Amino acid sequence: MSADRIGPSLAAAERLQPTLNAFVQLFDAEKARNASSGSGPLVGTPVALKDNLCLSWGKTTCASNMLRHYESPYTATAVQKLLDAGAAVIGKTNLDEFAMGSSCENSCFGPTFNPWDTTRVPGGSSGGSAAAVAAGIVPLALGSDTGGSVRQPASHCGIVGVKPTYGRVSRYGLVAYASSLDQIGTLTPTVGEAAAALSVICGHDPLDTTSSREPVPDLVSALEQPVEGLRLAVPRQARNQANHPEVARVFEETIAEYRRLGATIVDVELPLLDHGIAAYYIVAPAEASSNLARFDGIRYGHRAALGPGEDLFDLYCKSRSEGFGPEVQRRIMLGTHVLSSGYYDAYYNTALKVRRRMKQDFDRIFADCQAVLMPASPSPAFKVGEKTSDPLAMYLEDVYTVTINLAGLPAMSIPAGFASVEGKQLPVGVQLVSPAFDEARMLRIARMFERATPWHTRRPA
């Protein structure tokens, strides 16, 4: 890719910003080129960053009034690796505030819209990154995935979204939501581009104590080699009556295509899949309540103005009430509750036990199969505002993704077809899950399907 892609990429971003609202800030072409310090495999490639990834220029806002004016003094490790490989960062993308959401509507900058139908959401929380890639603005964007925030928007926008194994990519410079679940991931048009990007950002980082020392294999060279004797596990719980009929149809067609490609489909039980949402919305908010305690108006973030007679307690309350939006406040309160005296064992400790059982269930399946296949989301992209008044309905959008984060496994969403909804053709993705640190084979399995189908070639008008 040549450097002259940066100018057209920025021009496209500016032209589509009023329609999509995918970015919260854009950088000029000279700044983007000058900050690119390497001569590696991504030279001249324009990239976008979810705005919870620190960058030593511009702002890092997390789409929150709490950090609207925050300027990071350093750059996230994964981002620096892109720069060292020659990539040029053209801007920061919109997200659900502090990565808490499934629609990219919980942002102080307003919602992002789906390029396939601008009355619908792009998914969340990495909705801005997904929309920017789907619209052809950039060929690569980074997102973060705590409970599906890379894979679900990838599905809704018809692109490839990869969440690596926990620890495979450094979290240094990623603003923390739930530290035992967060993972930086990639959003790209194709599997090949995902493999190339992951080859750059994966690897041990001494600045992140949770970073794995597991060697990173060559993710690109063997990508075109089909997996011999492929056995794909399909959980009975994934063929759920709650799935949208069009999602169910695309999923069954995907299973049939893998059969045609020579895979053996193995029906399995994943009994705790249905309990993933309950466990996740105990563990994640508990960690969020701790991580976000630092944003108090004193050490970090928005500081409220005090009136006569108001004290330090009032400053904390007013700063956090003004700085955090409703969804973030809801999760902080839920997390504080489940960690409080008398409730820790009943809720948080129980959720951790369920989490361990989930990992054991996946390990049992992987003893016989190389990957698990299931939907990425139970429905196609829904309309803006459709689920904002019903938090539980919104949370259920991640029913197939949160369990993978709880187990710390790698997973990816790949384009698998289109749903016909109200006269619109909306993309639908399916999800592949592999054993820990087996991204190389997972990418090969995804490429088998991509090579045999046309879905990844289609782009919104």
- pLDDT tens across 351-368, in order? 999 999 999 999 999 999
439 plus 319 within the same structural domain: no
Whole-angstrom CA distances from 313 to 200, 318, 369, 435 are 46, 9, 55, 47
| Pairing status of strand 411-421 against strand 424-433 | antiparallel
Q: Reply yes or no on whether 59 is catalytic.
A: no
Whole-angstrom CA distances from 387 to 19, 241, 283, 333 are 21, 20, 23, 21
Contact (Cβ atoms closer than 8 angstroms) between residue 144 and residue 152: no
200 plus 294 within the same structural domain: no
Q: Reply yes or no on whether 56 is catalytic.
A: no
* Residue-range definition of the domain harbouring residue 7: 3-230+369-457
337 plus 195 within the same structural domain: no
- Which residues make beta-bridge pairs with 366? none
27 plus 163 within the same structural domain: yes
Mean pLDDT within 62-84: 97
Mean pLDDT within 166-190: 98
384 plus 346 within the same structural domain: no
Q: What angle do CA 180, 60, 88 make, to 5 degrees?
A: 100
Whole-angstrom Cα distance, residue 125 to residue 178?
14
- Calculate the dihedral angle through the C-alpha atoms of 265, 409, 102, 149, rounding to the nearest 10 degrees: -110
User: Of residues 64, 102, 125, 212, which has the active-site annotation?
Assistant: 125
326 plus 403 within the same structural domain: no
Q: Which of 322, 351, 380 is the last residue in one of the domains?
A: 351
Q: Looking at residue 223, which CATH number applies to its domain? A: 3.90.1300.10
Q: Is the pLDDT of residue 270 over 50?
A: yes
Contact (Cβ atoms closer than 8 angstroms) between residue 407 and residue 163: no
Q: Is the pLDDT of residue 2 over 70?
A: no
Q: Reply yes or no on whether 102 is catalytic.
A: no
Q: Residue 5 class from Cβ within 10 Å (0-12 exposed, 13-18 middle, 19+ buried)?
A: middle
Q: Which tokens go with 121?
A: 């959401």
Nearest alpha-carbon partner for 191 in 415, 374, 437 = 415
Contact (Cβ atoms closer than 8 angstroms) between residue 385 and residue 264: no
Percent of the residues in the chain that have a pLDDT greater than 90, as a whole number: 95
Question: Locate tokens 């895979």: which residue?
Answer: 263
What pLDDT is stored for residue 35 in this prediction? 86
Q: Is the pLDDT of residue 57 over 80?
A: yes
In-domain check, residue 214: yes
Calculate the average pLDDT of the chain. 96
Number of domains in the chain: 2
Question: Locate tokens 């496994």: which residue?
Answer: 409
What pLDDT is stored for residue 342 in this prediction? 87
User: Of residues 9, 50, 107, 155, which has the active-site annotation?
Assistant: 50
205: amino acid identity, one letter: D
In-domain check, residue 79: yes
Mean pLDDT within 199-207: 98
335 plus 380 within the same structural domain: no
User: Of residues 64, 102, 126, 149, which has the active-site annotation?
Assistant: 149
